[in-house]
């Protein structure tokens, strides 16, 4: 029976990988929408998000079932607790990609302002790199995959130039452009934050060091 | 024979302490709403500074509660009902901690637009949003404290008023920018502020969903609202719903 339980734990972690692939597709879609304003793609992203939400619900229920039935301890317990938090972040990353998709109709307006668009492109690349590193670390259970994140530009580096360029806008629709650009920027910023929550939960899961939980509160 | 009984008593004492602390955390978070709003409406930068320091205390208590939840799970092997309560507490911590962060965001946004005059309409809507957010958060904590499934389920509908105020606020802000009474920086910050209040309402609704789970063992459909980010979109420019 315990053998079956360990298989269930392994399967749970594998399901998180599958969920992260779905979220990665949606993240790629968000970047594409932010560049192209493709409304059809934005629409497809909504359907895909239903699948992410369904996985979130079923995995949450599975975690609780395992906690109740198996009373796991030590690393098994940490794995179940980490999965519960990681799937919350993945689900919310999925939601945040929809928030970017919501702006499809204003993307052309944003991209008419090259300085604003340039900051957003840099931020998007930074966030994709974070997400991919964290997903690779989760799949391989290898914290070395997270090593170069220490040298990655911090997310709060992008806020000030974005705000500066936005407040320099002087077109008639400046307020609309400003809010839309902020939505896109802050959504990617939060996606980056959630990627780091996943990283810290993985660190906690693998090492048992509870200080990694504090790293995500701020 | 006495050892298991004492063990059980100790377990219940720890659970009672956790419940008491989560309500204390909730009280601290609720307190940030009028304080952050005071920064917005009065421009009192001292209050802003105090609020940011207060958020550190909230963070500290949040981490402490989450640590204790994990310790109890690991050491006490709680039964199903208690386990649901512990899972609920761990989720509530995240919702509450994030809500306090949003009020810090309100304070920081207020600092960025320091000196900008707000029209009576904008001040009125902002004040109403703060009241609604505070009311929702209080109801959500009452629902948790009393394990009141009916009140928890009603939060979704109560939150509609806050969603409508968010639309009013964005319209008022765009109008004020168009007629030149506020600059672009202030317009952006005010649109963000409206979103932060609306998000606090979403966190309260999420707390309600967690309470329903705690009481019934079932998670309501579409339980998690988009509450992760402090991004700034507005209902006025959104076409695709969050959920």
Instruction: Identify the DSSP state of A158.
Output: S
pLDDT at B178: 85
Are the Cβ atoms of A60 and B219 closer than 8 angstroms? yes
Please report, for the domain that includes residue B205, its CATH number: 1.20.58.220
Inside any domain, residue A9: yes
B234 in a domain, yes or no? no
- Inside any domain, residue B111: yes
Cα separation, B67 vs B60, whole angstroms = 11
Domain interval for residue A135: 2-213
Q: Do A67 and B87 touch (CB under 8 A)?
A: yes
Distance from C-alpha of A190 to C-alpha of A64, rounded to nearest angstrom: 27
Tens of pLDDT, residue by residue over B163-219, are 899 989 988 998 888 888 898 889 989 988 998 999 999 999 999 999 998 998 877
User: What distances in angstroms separate CA B27 from CA A218, B47, B59, one per listed residue?
Assistant: 19, 18, 14
Is the pLDDT at B5 greater than 90? The verdict is no
Residue A218 lies in a domain: no
* Residue A133 is assigned to a structural domain of this protein: yes
Q: What is the CATH number of the domain that holds A165?
A: 1.20.58.220
Q: Which of B105, B102, B108, B92 is nearest to B134 (CA)?
A: B102
Q: What is the largest CA-CA distance in chain B?
A: 78
pLDDT digits (tens, 9 = 90+) for B12-40: 999 999 999 999 999 999 999 999 999 99
B242: in domain: no
Contact B177 A174 (CB under 8 A): yes
The answer as to whether B231 is a domain residue is no
**A127 lies in a domain?**
yes
Mean pLDDT for back-to-back runs of 10 residues, chain A (218 residues): 80 96 97 95 90 91 86 88 93 94 93 95 97 96 92 90 87 84 92 95 90 71
Task: Assess if residue A182 is contained within a domain.
Answer: yes
Domain assignment present for B223 = no
Which of A98, A178, A214 shows the shortest C-beta gap to B240?
A: A98
Q: How many CB pairs under 8 A join A and B?
A: 142
Confirm whether A164 is domain-assigned.
yes
B95: containing domain: 2-216
Q: How many domains, in total, are found in chain A? A: 1
**Distance from the B198 Cα atom to the nearest Cα atom in chain A, whole angstroms:** 15
Run of H or E including B81: helix B80-112
Q: CB distance from B154 to chain A under 8 Å?
A: no
Q: Quick: pLDDT tens for B60-76.
A: 999 999 989 988 888 88
**Tokens of residue B190, six digits:** 């005010």
Amino acid B235: pLDDT: 30
CA A217 to chain centre: 16
Contact assessment for residue B211 and residue B88, using Cβ atoms and an 8 Å cutoff? yes
Tell me the pLDDT tens digit for each residue of B225-238: 543 333 333 332 22
Q: Please provide residue B113's backbone torsions phi and psi, each rounded to the nearest 5 degrees.
A: -110, 25
Is residue B221 in a domain?
Answer: no
What ipTM was predicted for this assembly? 0.72
Nearest residue in chain A measured CA to CA from B104:
A218
Q: Residue B224's pLDDT is what? A: 58
Residue closest to A101 by CA, chosen among A38, A166, A158:
A38
- Rounded distance between C-alpha atoms, residue B152 and residue B211, angstroms: 6
What domain count does chain B have?
1
Do the domain assignments include residue B26?
yes
Cβ atoms of B202 and B226 within 8 Å: the answer is yes
């Amino acid at each position: 029976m315990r053998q079956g339980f360990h298989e269930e734990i392994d399967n749970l972690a594998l399901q998180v990988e599958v969920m992260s692939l779905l979220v990665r597709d949606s993240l790629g879609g968000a970047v594409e929408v932010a560049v192209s304003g493709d409304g059809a793609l934005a629409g497809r992203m909504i359907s895909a998000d239903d699948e992410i939400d369904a996985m979130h619900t079923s995995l949450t229920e599975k975690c609780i079932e395992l906690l109740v039935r198996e009373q796991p301890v030590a690393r098994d317990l940490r794995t179940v607790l980490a999965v519960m938090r990681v799937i919350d972040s993945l689900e919310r990353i999925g939601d945040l990609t929809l928030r970017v998709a919501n702006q499809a109709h204003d993307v052309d307006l944003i991209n008419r302002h090259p300085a604003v668009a340039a900051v957003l492109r840099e931020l998007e690349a930074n966030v994709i790199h974070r997400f991919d590193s964290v997903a690779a670390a989760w799949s391989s259970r290898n914290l070395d995959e997270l090593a170069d994140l220490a040298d990655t530009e911090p997310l709060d580096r992008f806020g000030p130039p974005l705000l500066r360029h936005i407040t320099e806008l002087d077109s008639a629709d400046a307020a609309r452009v400003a809010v839309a650009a902020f939505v896109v920027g802050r959504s990617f910023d939060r996606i980056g934050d959630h990627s780091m929550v996943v990283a810290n939960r993985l660190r906690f899961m693998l090492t048992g060091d509870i200080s990694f939980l504090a790293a995500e509160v701020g | 024979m006495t050892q298991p009984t004492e063990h059980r008593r100790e377990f219940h004492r720890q659970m009672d302490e956790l419940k008491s602390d989560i309500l204390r955390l909730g009280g601290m978070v609720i307190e940030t709403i009028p304080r952050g709003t005071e920064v917005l409406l009065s421009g009192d930068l001292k209050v802003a500074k105090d609020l940011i320091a207060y958020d550190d205390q909230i963070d500290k208590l949040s981490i402490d509660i989450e640590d204790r939840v994990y310790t109890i799970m690991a050491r006490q092997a709680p039964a199903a009902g208690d386990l649901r309560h512990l899972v609920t507490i761990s989720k509530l911590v995240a919702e509450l901690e994030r809500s306090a962060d949003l009020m810090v965001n309100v304070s920081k946004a207020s600092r960025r637009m320091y000196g900008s005059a707000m029209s009576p309409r904008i001040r009125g809507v902002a004040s109403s949003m703060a009241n609604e957010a505070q009311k929702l958060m209080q109801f959500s904590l009452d629902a948790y404290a009393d394990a009141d499934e009916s009140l928890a389920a009603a939060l979704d509908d109560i939150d509609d008023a806050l969603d409508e105020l968010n639309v009013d606020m964005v319209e008022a802000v765009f109008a004020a920018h168009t007629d030149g009474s506020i600059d672009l920086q202030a317009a952006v910050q005010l649109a963000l502020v409206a979103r932060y209040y609306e998000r606090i309402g979403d966190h309260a609704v999420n707390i309600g969903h967690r309470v329903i789970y705690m009481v019934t063992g079932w998670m309501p459909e579409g339980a998690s609202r988009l509450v992760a980010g402090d991004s700034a979109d507005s209902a006025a420019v959104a076409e695709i719903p969050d959920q």
